[in-house]
Amino acid sequence: MVITKTMAHNHNHQINSGRIAGAASSSSSFGNLKRVVGMPLAVVLFSIIFFFKIPSCFSQLTRLEHQVKDDGSLSLLVVGDWGRRGHFNQTIVASQMGRIGKELDIDFVVSTGDNFYDDGLKGPHDPAFEESFTEVYTADSLQKPWYTILGNHDYRGKIVVGHHAIRSAGHHGDTEELIQHLLPILKANNVDLYVNGHDHCLEHISSHDSPIQYLTSGAGSKAWRGDTKKYDERVMKFFYDGQGFMSMQLTNANVEVLFHDVLGQVLHRWKVSKDLHSSM
């Protein structure tokens, strides 16, 4: 069993890199990724970006290509801010992820960061890795590649994953540096979805001036902060202060995003037909 451990995640969020391969995968971390060249519709590009706080450009992306299912679809779960040795409902969220993961036959899991509280892993043998990851996400359906940190997912559309929110009504609120430095890059690249953690909640915010949707999934364990900020109701689609996770189903025609609570129940559903997007 080969496990690529995440680099210690520093809770100051300066370093937020690395990846976790499927907890029980028996081969190499990306053993089930296959590079298929020249078949853009048959593959999904999944890119992982390693950077410090603010990306200077997209050229740092390492692209990995993920094969889609026979019907051309792909499913995944998104969870963030989770590693607390099972506490704060982490274990319950994990078991619901297992259930939904099985239902959707997920291809992989994306983690939006803050993987090991409080200060990340102390080294390659830190038991926190087992206590907060391997022994918590035990369902068969979750034994898939786990992609942590910032990524860029390109499936006839673009999804960028980061840790910090660009827009959020949660505790930390909007991140001005990202609005200034990252958002123009996302717009220029016709990004459709920006997915993040950091605020310990689930939320969906849309935009006035672009098709970009902001999706926060940072509720993998400790939540219920109770300090929601007032937000423009025209763009605020959904906010939930408690625990949960997000699932996504991507097909050639549609992207469907669901937010689930600690019991796995669907709290919010958003679906978009890719045909509607001029950027596709």
Ligand X SMILES: *[C@@H]1O[C@H](CO)[C@@H](O)[C@H](O)[C@H]1NC(C)=O
Which is closer to ligand X, CB of 3 or CB of 262?
262
- 172 assigned to active site: yes
CB of 261 to ligand X, least distance (A): 6
CB of 263 to ligand X, least distance (A): 7
Of 114, 117, 257, 90, the residue nearest 197 (C-alpha): 114
Q: How far is CA 144 from CA 31, 171, 211, 234, in A?
A: 10, 31, 30, 37
CB of 88 to ligand X, least distance (A): 5
- Residues with Cβ within 8 Å of 27's Cβ and at least 6 positions away in sequence, in order, are 2
Which residues belong to the annotated binding site for Fe cation? 81, 114, 117, 152, 163, 198, 200
CB of 242 to ligand X, least distance (A): 5
Task: Please report whether residue 96 would count as binding ligand X according to CB under 6 A.
Answer: no
Q: Which two tokens stand for residue 142?
A: 């979750």
Site string for ligand X, 196-235 (x = CB under 6 A): ---------------------------xx-----------
Helix and strand numbers, DSSP H then E, in the chain: 4, 14
Q: How far is CA 175 from CA 40, 162, 209, 216, in A?
A: 34, 12, 17, 13
Q: Which two tokens stand for residue 232?
A: 């423009």
Task: Please report whether residue 243 would count as binding ligand X according to CB under 6 A.
Answer: yes
Which is closer to ligand X, CB of 16 or CB of 247?
247
Instruction: Provide the residue count of the chain.
Output: 280
Q: Which residue has the tokens 């364990």?
A: 221
Task: Please report whether residue 88 would count as binding ligand X according to CB under 6 A.
Answer: yes
Q: How would you class 100 by CB atoms within 10 Å of its CB: exposed for 0-12, middle for 13-18, buried for 19 or more?
A: buried
By CB under 6 A, the count of residues binding ligand X is: 7
Which is closer to ligand X, CB of 196 or CB of 243?
243
Among 25, 89, 111, 213, binds ligand X (CB under 6 A): 89
Q: How far is CA 68 from CA 58, 146, 177, in A?
A: 24, 16, 35
Among 54, 235, 262, 280, binds ligand X (CB under 6 A): 262
Task: Please report whether residue 117 would count as binding ligand X according to CB under 6 A.
Answer: no
Shortest-Cβ-distance residue relative to ligand X: 89
- Interacting residues with ligand X (CB under 6 A): 88-89, 223-224, 242-243, 262
The catalytic residue positions are 172
